[in-house]
Structures are given as C-alpha cells and as structure tokens.
Chain A
Amino acid sequence: MAPQTDHEEREIKLSDITLIKGIWPFIRPYFWMLCISVLLVFLVTFLELLIPILTQKAIDGFILPQSGAGTDLWGIEIESFKLFAVIFFTVVLVSLITDFAQTVFMEYTGQKIILYLRCSLFRHMSLLPVAYFDEFSSGRLVSRVAGDVENMNEMFSSILVFVFRDLVLMIGILAVMFSMNATMALHISAVVPFILIGILFFSKISRKVFRTLRQKIGEINHVFSETMAGIKIIQTTAGVDLFLRKFGKINTDHLMAGLFQIRIFAVFMPFIGFLSTLGTGIIIWTGGAEIVQEEITIGVLVAFLSYIKMFFRPVRDLSEKFNLLQNALASGERIVSVLNRKPFQDRLSESDHRIGKIERIEFDHICFSYKPEEEVLTNISFSVRRGQSIGIAGHTGSGKSSLINLITGFYRPDSGTITINGEEYENLSIKNIRDRTALVMQDPVLFSTSVRDNIRPPDSTMDDTELEQILEKANCGFLFERHQGIDTMVREGGRPFSSGEKQLLCIARAFAFNPDLIIFDEATSYMDTVSEQKVHQAMQRLMAGRISIIIAHRLNTVRDCDSILLLKKGTIKESGSHKTLMEKKGEYYHLLFQMQ
C-alpha cells in the first residue's frame, strides 16, 4: 500500500521575513488605523499605570502621612482627601471609556484587514493555474481561505496591538520602577533575561506544533469533503471502515499534536508564574531591608508590589497571546505560501494582447506532459479554421482531454507552438481567448445559485426571454415542465437535476456565451440517444460560423466533423474526414466496424 503521507499536504515553513513581506501589503492600507490603535493603547496604558501611583500617593499622603496630610500631583498640592478621591475616580472612569474605544477601534481595524486579506486571497487563488487545483484538493484549499484567514484574524484584532500594548506596559512599568527606586528596580530586572529566553525558546517549539496542527486541520477538512462527495460509494462498498480508519488516524494525529502543545504551554505558563513570585520575593527581600534603612517608604514598597503584579500580567497575557500568535503565524505561513504563487507561474501567459474573433487555431509539433518523463502528447500538429469542426477520437486515455487542457490554457505545452490567428498563444491574453471559448465537460459543473446565474455570462445584458430561447435551443424544456424555469435554484451537487439534465444546462451555458470556439469534452456521455440527437441538431446550428472541437468516445458524434483526428497513445494515428478515413480502412475503419 502506498504510504499515507504521500497524499497528505506537506508542512509549510517560511522565514519570518518572507511572512512579514507577504502579509504587509494587506496591512498597509489600514496601517494608519493600526497606528491610531497603538496611540489609544498608549493612553489606556498610561491610565492603567496611573492607578498604582495614585494608590501610593493615597497611602503615603493621607493614610499614613509622614508629615501633615496632603500630596502633590505633578506640582499641584491636594490637601483634601475627598478631592483626591474624585480625581481617583475620574481616572477610573476615563480609563473605562478609552479602554472601550480602543478595543472597538482595534477590532474594527483587525476585521477590516481580514476581510481585505480574505477577498484578495480568494481572488488570487481563483487566478492560479488549474495545475494548482489538480495538485491540492479543494477541501485542503478551502481551509486556507476559511480557517487560516480566521486564525490571522486573531493576529490583527488582538495580538498585534496587544503585544504592542503589553510591551509598552512592561517598559513603562520598568521605567516607573526605576524612577521610584533604581536599586530595587535593578534587582527585579534580573528576572527579565529569563523571560526573554523563555519566550524565544518556547516560540521555536510551539510554532512547529502549531504548524502540524494547522496542517492536520487541512487534512480533516479534506476527509470531510471527500467523504461527503463520495458518500454513496462509501456506504455501498466497504468504504465506511476504511474512511473511519483514515479519519481516526488524522484525528488522532491532530490530538497528539494538541497534547504536545498543551505540555509545552504547561511548562511555559507556570514558569512565567514562578518568575512573578520570584519577583515578589526579591522585592520583599531587598525592599524590606531598604525600608529598615529608611531608603524607601512603605507606600513605595506597596507600589512596587503592585507593579510587579502588573508587570507579570502582560507577560502572562503575552504568553497566552503567544499561543494565538503562534497559531496565527502558522496560518500566516500557509496563506503567504499561496500568495507567493504567481497566478501565471510558468504555465500561463501574462500578456494582455487581445485578438479579434478567433479565425484559426494551429498546433505545431506539440509535446506535453503532466509529470516529467511521462509524455501524454507527442508531436501533435493540426489546424482548424472558422466554420470548421474537428473531431478527436481515440481510446480512453489516448490524450484527448489533455489536448483540451492546452487549448484552454490550463496547461502549457513542453515544446511546440500553438497559434491563434497566426499569433503565438504565449503572446495573447488568456482571458481574451477564454472570453471567446466555451467548454462543456464530461462532469457537469453547476454552482449553487439560480439557473439564470449559472448560464448567463457575467456582465451580459441578456434578458429572460433571450435566456429562455437559449434554454429552449439546448432542450432544457424540462426546466419549465418540472421546475420553476430559469429561477430554479441549483443546490449542491447539481440537485435537483439528473445527470443528463445537468449536462443539458451546461450546454445551455455554452450557448449563452456565444463563443468563437466551442469545445465538447465527451459532453454527451450522460445523455440518452434521444436527447443526444436533439443536442446534435442544436450543435450543428451553433457550430455554423465557429470553430468547434469535439472530443468523443463514440464515433457517431464526430462523424460529421470536417476532419477527424484519431489519437493513439498521445500521437495522431490517422486524420482526415470520415469519408477518407473510411476509405483508408485503417484503425478508424476498424473501430467503426467493431461498433456494429
């Protein structure tokens, strides 16, 4: 059995610089908002720091006065205890308001950045080459846009600003402590290097765990999505056990990573707590001695004790946030790795050179492979011009569908050139070509929205009557007989339509786009002969004045084409019209003969 890890996603690891570079463009437009958030944080922090000072002033000035009652607040003498109480309470109130304003503003900024990031990420991904989607599964990719971006949310809405705030708070506390009593502050600073070392050390290990956690979540999403898509097969074969096992394994892996993460934090968090008690111990020790020597007042000692508590709260906070931060950074890596994929990376052309109507398509000695050393198309040359149709026949796996992947620009050939109206494909705008192309595939794809939105070209002004005419042409009469016409809502998996009906709707979509080039990739597989005949009539009408490429496993579908290519193992075995190929009595003739 192939090793399981083969189909799992690789762990993604990026340097922090790459990470920041990747995310920065999304922060930039909102950078000023973040700055305001930070300014507000300064204000809130300042107010927060003010309260222990006020407490100290209260104790030293009123409760245990050395000399007559009264204290000075930045030069202003306050003698009344009541007035002092009013000032104290005002500070408390203002602190409430600014704190609230700051939090709301910050959340807003964070969510804004996330929205921007999510939309850009999705747009970016939708522009990535099809090869990328072939490489990863849709379930895994979904967890990037949904889950990973959600994790980044924490990053912007709380971590970024809070980390800043906590750092400022810690520095502020240290500064205040130094100004109150340098020797004692110095003693306490001895703890700081331990904190830093602790943080650096744990950040290294925990990022690794979070990476694994995120990757496993991607896997979980993938198993869910696949199970739900293939549920009928799973239930009717022995697949239930297989999938339960598969899922069980991933889920257990996820659990193990989770438990490991807990152990890491179970060491880290109490460690920080211990440092806090250590700090308290140091204060009592050194502070007590200093009070005896009358170097400091009791009020200062109390303030110090409050500050040490305050100092460790952000540290504690910071380490809780750290949890989220590491999680967010692990997600960030996954997002940036997608963003760093160039939409047109090596497979597609970047040009925006436009052409008019597609008049002629030529393949000149095209070779193509999905994986190195596994050529699926070898030396393919043919040309087709407007008004002509070309049929591509051949056994299953002879390379018919790969040809389509090249014409639509999903993939690029390894060698040889494709030209459109005599211009090299590479030099043309892919979008422009696709605007003029319609594709009907063997697996009908419909989106969960109304039939109207499924078939109407974007930005078109086509009205309902026109759409109804198109549906009529595509034999979609069933829509009006058994459903609510063009307003019928398509649900997931193309319900409520049968496979044949879904394919008819896809054909209607192709009609609606009024393309120069129309490609049918085994489009009639799901259709019974009666509908197929009708589609054929409609196709003949549609094909007039256009280029059409028809891939079929049934020769009767390609019989009427102007020319037919018979593919075998990636090469053109025979080509010509039905008549000439029949006269040749080669493989085509024999294929046909076998049919009867």
Chain B
Amino acid sequence: MIVVDGLQLVIPEIIKRSVDMLESGSPDASVFAQQAFLIIILGALMMAIRYAWRVLLMGSARHLEKGLREELFHRIIHLDPTFYDGVKTGDIMARATSDINHIRMAFGLGIVAIIDAFLLGGATIAVMMWMNVKLTLLALVPMPFLIVSTKILGRKMHEYHNTAQESFSALTELVRESFFGIRVVKVFNFEPLVGEKVTRVATEYFGRNLKRAILTSFFKPLMTFFFNSSTFIIIFYGGYLVTRETVSAGELVAFVQYMGVLAWPMIALGWMTNLFQRGLASLKRVRKIIETEPSVRSLPDAVPPDPGAGDIEISNVVFAYNFGPPVLDQVSMRIGKGGFTGISGPPGSGKTSLIQLIPRLYDPRSGHISIAGRDIRQTDLNSLRGKIGFMPQESFIFSGSIRENIVMGQTVSEQTLSEIIHATVLADILEAMPDGLETVVGERGVTLSGGQKQRIALARTLVTPKDIILLDDPVSQMDTDTASSVMEGVKRLRGDATLVMISHRIAALPFCDTIFIMNKGRIENRGTHQSLMKTSPFYRNSYTAQMFEDRDGTAD
C-alpha cells in the first residue's frame, strides 16, 4: 500500500516534467510517448499491488467479522437463562447482524481509508512542501477547520448511531414476536394492531436514522468545500507567484494535481470518521454481550460428579428471578438415589423453578443443593449437566429432522435409538411420517401436535444414559392411553437413575415413592399416594376430579 501511494505521487511528477519540457522548448513527440508509457506501466504496477492489499486487508475484516460473530454466539449459548430473562431475541439478532456489519465496514474499508488517507495525504503534503513550503502551508490553511469539524461531527454521530441502533433492535424484536405468534395475530384480527405498532416503531427508527443521516450529509459537502478552498488558494496565490516567476508553471500544474491526489484522503477522512464512529458504537453494543459473564459458573476447584451419584439434597433454598419476589421460600427436600419422586401443586407454586435449580439453569439465592453429598456448585458444570436429563415444561422442537432433534449431535447407536423410540411410543408416528426419522419438522415443530412434541422431547432427554432424570410435566399433552404407555417406557429406560417428575396429572403420580405437594413457593405436604389422599386436600381433590367417574361426587 505504501508502494502504491508512492507510485501515485510519481505520476504528477512525470506530468510536471512534461509540462516544464513543453514550456522550455519544443521536444519531439516521442518523448511524450515515453512519458505516457511510463505512466501506464506505473498504473499496471499499482493495479497489481492494490489487488494484494485489498484481498489482505478486507479479507482480515471479514475474518474479524466471523470471529466476532462466533464469539457472540459462543457467549450467548453459554449464558444462563438469567441473562435471557433480561434481553430480547430481536435485540441480539440485530447485534449479530447489523452491528457486526458496521464493525466490519469500519475495520475493512475504514482501515483502508485511514491508512490511505494518512500515507497518501502525508506523502503528498511532504512532496508539496519540498516544492514550495509557503504555497503548501497556505494551501493547508483549511485543514485545521476540517479536523475540528470532523471531530465535532464524529462525536455527535456516535451518539446518533447508538440511538438509531437501539430502535433498530426494538423493531427487529417486534417483528420477530409478531411472526412468532402469527396464529394468534390472525384469529384475533390483531393484524392492524401489530401493523400500527410496527409503523410506530419504524417511524421512530426513521426519525433517529434521519438525524444520523443528516449529520452524515454534512461531511461530503464540507470536505469538498475545504478541498475547493485549497485549490482556490493554490490557483490565486500560486498564480501570483508564477507571474512573479518564483514558481514555474509546471510546478503550479503539479500543485493542482497534488491537490487532486489530496482530495481522496480528505474525502476518505470524512467517510472514515463516519464509518469508525458507527463501528465503534456498534462494537460497544456487541462487546457488552460478549463481556457478560454467566452468573452460573463452575468454581475453580470444581470436580466432575461421581458416576452413579443420584442422591439429591435440597436444603433451605430461597430463589427469585432477577429482582422479582421470591418464588421459592426455604425449600428443603431429600431425594434418594434411584427413587421415583413426584412433585405437584397449583400453577405458580414454584415446581418448575425448583427443578431448574438442579441442572443449575439458575442458582438459588440462598441455601444449597448437593448431589451425593457434594454441593453442585463445586461440581463441574458441563459434566453435571451431562449426568442430568432434563425435560422442560414447554417442549421445544428445533428445525431439522426428528433424528437430529432426538440425538442432538451425540453419537447414539441405532439400537439404542430404536429402543428409545419404542419406549416413548414414537414408532407409530414415525411410520406415518413421510421420511420416518429423517422427516424435517418446522420451527417449533408446527406440523407436530403437542403430544408428539412432548414425546420427541422426552426421547431427547433419555437418549443417553443419565444418573438423574428431571421431567417437567412430560405427559400433559398426551391422551391417557399414550401417557401411560410412555410412563411405562420411561420407568423401563431409567434403570437405576433417580427420577423426579412434575405432573399436573395425578394419575401419573401414584407410582411414585414420594410425592411433594408445593404451594406458594413452599412444600406444603409430602407422602405417598395413600397418605396424601388423606392429608392433602389439593391432592385428593385433583385426584378425584381427574378420575371423572366420581368427579361430581367429591370434587367440590
């Protein structure tokens, strides 16, 4: 690049020589052919070198973009759900695409521009100085104004860019949410409503973006203005010097040429400021995520859990989401290795919150949880989660084949897979599917029914052997027939793993060794099916209500 810039400066020199030759006498035409040939050779050389630095510099910007995006993705995939409670998907998406794009522009084109501007600009000015100091200095009078105005505009631009990107994030999220809930939008005729909302947010974005754009609009005319002012000084002061014969006509022409060379670095300067400001503001937004530390971490001296460890002890656990009110209040329970424990209770009683603490999706605010006598915080996080099979309440299906959804990238033998499929009563469904296991299911498995989704999610949980299996209402969307077959399958598959299951369906619970009834963040009752039928009104009412033959008799 330095070479290119150097070469670029040679050309006016050649022109200068030609012009001076013209003035001094009448050389023959072949000299011009020589000079012209020299210029063309230089041009070809410049082309080759420019190719090289373009590929190198812009290429590294692309690599930077990739690296940054990967880092962002690595970070968000490792951040705990607490982080997700505070952010919006659309916002992260905007950062991963639009912001990273701004950063790439700044570091690709921006760096090219800055180096070009400084090298070319500096060298040009040096050559001009060498030719005539006074004229050069005068020509550069507008420069300080340029730098100052660039700085002021740059600062404002940073600010405007930030607010514009924020509202772009909001827009992305709004659109995402509306598309995600499209069925509800349609049935309730919310289309005009969401349309208006999008219009409102888009208009806000329009306003902020326009502010940014107007500020940007100042740049180019301003650059041109300063550039023209310099030309003006050269022509008029330089012209005056030529008439006094302190400067040759050739020099003056070369000066005008050099100003032409300077035009690009000046424009680049303005452009670069713009790119850089945007890039920096965006980088800040991206780094904010990348620098977020997961709040759930392994302690430095963490060790992998003992194989086969299955005793869970929860003692005096208090838990709240972010800064919300506590949802678990001094909960203690002991779950024996290899046992089958049920948890039930009204909605919002803290069942799901409790079970999520075991694979450390969240950490309790106080109290502790230990497995086989060791606090889970002292256990290596990845191997802890590897030992635990967890099925969340809302079954989520990734877009991909059913096989991919069950196997999740692990190596599983065909035999194990077919065992799992039979145990979770998926065989009939797969048979009815066009491509069996390879059938591609859409986002959130739109073409699957709720019960089918649950069975796939369950198969996913059980596909590799675990020491502890946590199921959050796993059969809620299946018909009774299927549900009991699935439960049979789960019991068969679990081996000596500890099984903990939340269920609203009491019918699935009587097989449990122990059943905990939760209410308002506390354990209200515990016991076996028989004892709870006597001691827990909630359990008794639910049970009788669900066995609907007697429902009218005892439910109320």
Contacts and interface: CB of A to CB of B under 8 A. Distances in A.
B1 to A, nearest CB: 12
Interface in B26-64: 26-29, 31-33, 35-37, 39-40, 42-44, 46-48, 50-51, 54-55, 58-59, 62-63
A289 B506 CA distance: 103
Contacts of B186: 130, 408, 410, 434
Interface string B314-329: 0000000100110000
Contacts of A126: 178, 182, 185, 191, 194-195
Interface string A581-592: 000000000010
Interface string A217-254: 10011111111111111111111111111011001101
A556 B218 CA distance: 71
A135 B216 CA distance: 40
Interface in A111-129: 111-112, 114-115, 118-119, 122-123, 125-127
B193 A138 contact: no
Nearest to A105: B217
B177 A591 contact: no
B29 to A, nearest CB: 4
B330 interface: no
B199 to A, nearest CB: 5
Interface string B75-97: 01110110011011110111011
A274 B449 contact: no
A29 interface: no
Give the one of A92, A108, A232 with max B CB within 10 A: A232
Listed from nearest, the 4 A-B pairs whose CB atoms lie closest are A277-B43, A500-B347, A242-B409, A396-B451
Contacts of B455: 396
A447 B218 contact: no
Nearest to B403: A1
Nearest to A112: B206
Given A6-B440, A63-B243, A240-B77, A434 B188 contact: yes
B228 A51 contact: yes
B80 to A, nearest CB: 8
A525 B43 CA distance: 74
Interface string B332-363: 00000000000011111000100010010100
A554 B94 contact: no
B243 A496 contact: no
A262 B189 contact: no
B449 to A, nearest CB: 5
B19 A298 contact: yes
A2 B73 contact: no
Contacts of B93: 139, 142-143, 146, 221, 224-225
A529 B545 contact: yes
Interface in A505-547: 506, 509, 513, 522, 525-533
Contact of A397 (B69, B182, B348, B449): B449
B504 A371 contact: no
Contact of A595 (B96, B452, B464, B480): B480
B48 A270 contact: yes
A262 B55 contact: yes
A442 B450 CA distance: 7
A251 B66 contact: yes
Contacts of B46: 270, 273-274, 277
A386 interface: no
Contacts of A526: 347, 393, 473, 476, 504
A2 B77 contact: no
Nearest to A285: B36
B232 A92 contact: yes
Interface string B244-287: 00000100110011001001000000000000000000000000
Given A284-B36, A500-B347, A530-B538, A263 B89 contact: no
Interface stretch (B120-128, B166-174, B370-378): B166-174
A592 to B, nearest CB: 9
B195 A122 contact: yes
A133 B182 contact: yes
Contacts of B229: 89, 92
Contacts of A111: 206, 209-210, 213
B190 interface: yes
Contacts of B432: 397, 569
B551 A99 contact: no
A142 B176 contact: yes
Given A141-B175, A226-B443, A556-B546, 7 more contacts: A224-B89, A238-B386, A238-B408, A281-B39, A286-B32, A292-B22, A531-B347
